[in-house]
Amino acid sequence: MSTDHRLGPVVTDAARRRIGTVTASYRSDPVSLRQIREYIAGIGGRPEGIDEARTDEPICAPPLFFHAACRPVVAEDDLLPDGQYPFLGVPGVSGRTMAGGHKYEVVAPVRVGDVLTVTERLTDITEKNGSSGPLVFVTTEAEYHNQARKLVGRYRQTVIFL
């Protein structure tokens, strides 16, 4: 995979052939209270506020947490020069990246102790010529299930390579 972003986006034939297939899967570690606190602080909330939650119900994470919980932890040595993951979208598409858009579907709550499994499919690769040069739009759709195989959420995103 090219990592010289000055060359602009690169799409290999192998990447195009993977449209419609599962391109990534990941199983999270058990969701911890600490992880939920960090997420609450990360979105500008009060991490200690979770202690005020009702004690007769399991503690639930904020609604978009399921996606954050399944972000792989990557060693610095494995990152691209711009700090980005080397496997955004699909292997074989490279370039500088920008977030184009996304859709969350929140199906069921995520609780402390849950183990989430995400399965991601590559749904589209579209190449366009923008005013600043060639652009590649890579769209993936992911489903998130908990340890009981219950669907908890879906996430579709488009990453723009430029």
Interface contacts to another protein, rule CB under 8 A: 35, 38-39, 41-44, 54, 60, 62-64, 67-68, 71-74, 76, 79, 82-85, 96-106, 109
Instruction: Give the shortest CB-104-to-another protein separation in angstroms.
Output: 5
Contact 121, 20 (CB under 8 A): yes
User: Following DSSP, what letter does each residue of 3-62 receive, concatenated?
Assistant: --GGG--EE-HHHHHTTTSEEEEEEPPPP-HHHHHHHHHHTT--GGGGGGS-TTSPPBPP
Instruction: Give the shortest CB-147-to-another protein separation in angstroms.
Output: 20
For 124, the token pair is 């589209």
Instruction: Give the shortest CB-127-to-another protein separation in angstroms.
Output: 19
Which residue number, 1 or 98, has a Cβ lying nearer to another protein? 98
Going from the C-alpha of 98 to that of each of 15, 47, 50, 101, 161, the distances in angstroms are 19, 29, 33, 9, 7
Which residue number, 69 or 90, has a Cβ lying nearer to another protein? 69
Instruction: Give the shortest CB-37-to-another protein separation in angstroms.
Output: 9
Which residue number, 13 or 57, has a Cβ lying nearer to another protein? 57
Which residue number, 1 or 74, has a Cβ lying nearer to another protein? 74
CA 11 to chain centre: 20
